[in-house]
């Protein structure tokens, strides 16, 4: 039997009645959760909490809906964001995947940003209690501080991360939700319990290409990977940690890795998108000659403002007021763009690296440094 309750049940179904015993329950915060237990009821019943719902801001009548399998259910709930976005706090329907794990694999997971394969600093849980504020990683240049909400990302291991390799065909946030599959060839991946959209799962490749949940909260993220091998009747779980940051710019490159050409086009005339090399002036849609507007493709900047960015082209700084557009591509989850104008001083610059920096609250995250950054060519 599945049911919603805000009670703090112990695994045996009893409820702690004193402050000293609250921690013995499965729901000490008292938020609405989905529980599972057996019927008919008996003294040997066990209670299992299936969700980890954050505090809700809207009082509704939640309902859980079962399927033919206890591993796949759905429920509705309002006033809550599970990490997948709910800006208006409306009542939404959530899909709940509860794998029946048959094996725990302690093999480590490592992470990279998905545009240029930039490595991500290793994150570890803080000791509890912590005697002082927990420092965030201080990676070396070319190592990302973490992964950002909505960022195209890669998880890797030294063991196969899928029973067999497969890819999704992409997705659109304007036509369906979730935009990408959350299960692919038996593989699912979650960050702090929120399902990630999947682009690719690899057996021999030992990797998963996914999109970070779009409203994942900053801090230490717990990543869970489930690998269901229906043929072998096994479900293996791997777990790891990744730092979640507000933004982590990473520029798409022709190599899919370090160096190469930045994925950028001249969009001064939006009806005539032109590849590099770029002149510092171009003709716009009206026929006037104006500073060239370059569209730069990157990931990791979904929840940001264009005023929070600085772009460096070669040794020239493109100030925030020269950045004319910051936008996420809702037809390609995980892909973002920055449009900026080229200053006249860059005429004749040749092939130069492009670096994007983001700053908020005194914390700065940066794309690849000049020695490994993707480049553009300017006439």
pLDDT, tens digit, for every residue of 299-338?
A: 999 999 999 999 999 999 998 899 999 999 999 999 999 9
Give, in order, the Cα–Cα distances in Å from 163 to each of 202, 255, 269, 278: 8, 28, 47, 45
**Residues of the chain above pLDDT 90, percent:** 82
Mean per-residue pLDDT for 141-158? 97
Beta-sheet strand order (sheet of 234-244): 103-105, 234-244, 219-229, 187-191, 194-195
Mean per-residue pLDDT for 197-210? 98
pTM of the shown model: 0.92
Inform me whether the pLDDT recorded for 342 exceeds 60. Answer: yes
pLDDT category, 127, cuts 50, 70, 90? Answer: low
Angle at 243 between CA 240 and CA 245, to 5 degrees: 150
pLDDT, tens digit, for every residue of 212-256?
A: 999 999 999 999 999 999 999 999 999 999 999 999 999 999 999
What is the pLDDT of the chain when averaged over all its residues?
94
Q: How far apart are CA 238 and CA 107, in angstroms?
A: 7
The two structure tokens encoding residue 236: 């293996």
Q: How far apart are CA 69 and CA 295, in angstroms?
A: 47
Cα 76 from chain centroid (whole Å): 23
Inform me whether the pLDDT recorded for 129 exceeds 90. Answer: no
Inform me whether the pLDDT recorded for 128 exceeds 60. Answer: no
Nearest to 115 by CA among 325, 311, 263, 217: 263
Diameter over CA atoms, the chain? 82
Give, in order, the Cα–Cα distances in Å from 115 to each of 141, 143, 225, 253, 379: 17, 13, 21, 7, 26
pLDDT, tens digit, for every residue of 169-195?
A: 889 999 988 999 999 999 999 999 999
Domain ranges within the chain, ordered by starting residue: 1-98, 103-126+139-244, 250-378
pLDDT category, 102, cuts 50, 70, 90? Answer: very high
pLDDT of residue 134: 46
Burial class (CB in 10 A: 0-12, 13-18, 19+), 175: exposed
CATH of 250-378, one of 3.30.70, 2.60.40, 2.40.50, 1.10.10: 2.60.40
pLDDT, tens digit, for every residue of 132-142?
A: 444 455 568 89
């Amino acid at each position: 039997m599945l049911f919603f309750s805000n009670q703090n049940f112990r695994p045996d179904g009893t409820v702690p009645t004193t402050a000293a015993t609250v921690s013995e329950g499965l729901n000490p915060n008292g938020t609405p959760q989905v529980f599972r237990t057996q019927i008919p009821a008996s003294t040997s019943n066990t209670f299992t909490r299936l969700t980890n719902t954050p505090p809700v801001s809207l009082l509704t009548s939640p309902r859980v809906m079962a399927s033919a399998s206890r591993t796949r259910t759905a429920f509705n709930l309002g006033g809550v964001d599970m990490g997948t976005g709910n800006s208006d706090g409306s009542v939404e329907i959530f899909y709940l995947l509860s794998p029946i794990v048959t094996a725990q694999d302690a093999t480590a997971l490592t992470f990279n940003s998905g545009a240029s394969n930039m490595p991500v600093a290793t994150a570890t849980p803080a000791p509890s209690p912590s005697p002082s504020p927990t420092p965030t990683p201080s990676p070396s240049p070319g190592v990302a501080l973490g992964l950002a909400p909505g960022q195209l990302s890669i998880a890797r291991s030294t063991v196969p991360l899928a029973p067999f390799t497969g890819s999704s065909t992409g997705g659109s946030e304007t036509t369906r939700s979730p935009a990408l599959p959350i299960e692919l060839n038996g593989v699912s991946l979650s960050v702090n319990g929120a399902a990630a959209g999947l682009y690719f799962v690899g057996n021999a490749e030992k990797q998963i290409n996914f999109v970070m949940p779009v409203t994942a909260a900053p801090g230490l993220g717990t990543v869970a990977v489930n690998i269901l091998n229906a043929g072998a009747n096994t479900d293996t779980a791997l777990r790891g940690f990744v730092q979640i940051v507000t933004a982590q710019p990473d520029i798409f490159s022709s190599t899919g890795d370090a160096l190469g050409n930045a994925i950028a086009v001249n969009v001064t005339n939006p009806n005539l998108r032109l590849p590099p090399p770029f002149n510092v002036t171009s003709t716009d849609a009206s026929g006037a000659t104006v500073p060239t507007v370059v569209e730069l493709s990157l990931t990791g900047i979904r929840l940001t403002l264009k005023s929070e960015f600085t772009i460096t082209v070669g040794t020239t700084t493109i100030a925030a007021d020269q950045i004319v557009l910051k936008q996420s591509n809702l037809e390609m989850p995980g892909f973002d763009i920055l449009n900026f104008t080229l200053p006249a001083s860059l005429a004749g610059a040749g092939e130069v690296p492009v670096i994007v920096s983001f700053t908020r609250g005194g914390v700065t995250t940066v794309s690849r440094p000049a020695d490994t950054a993707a480049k553009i060519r300017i006439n």
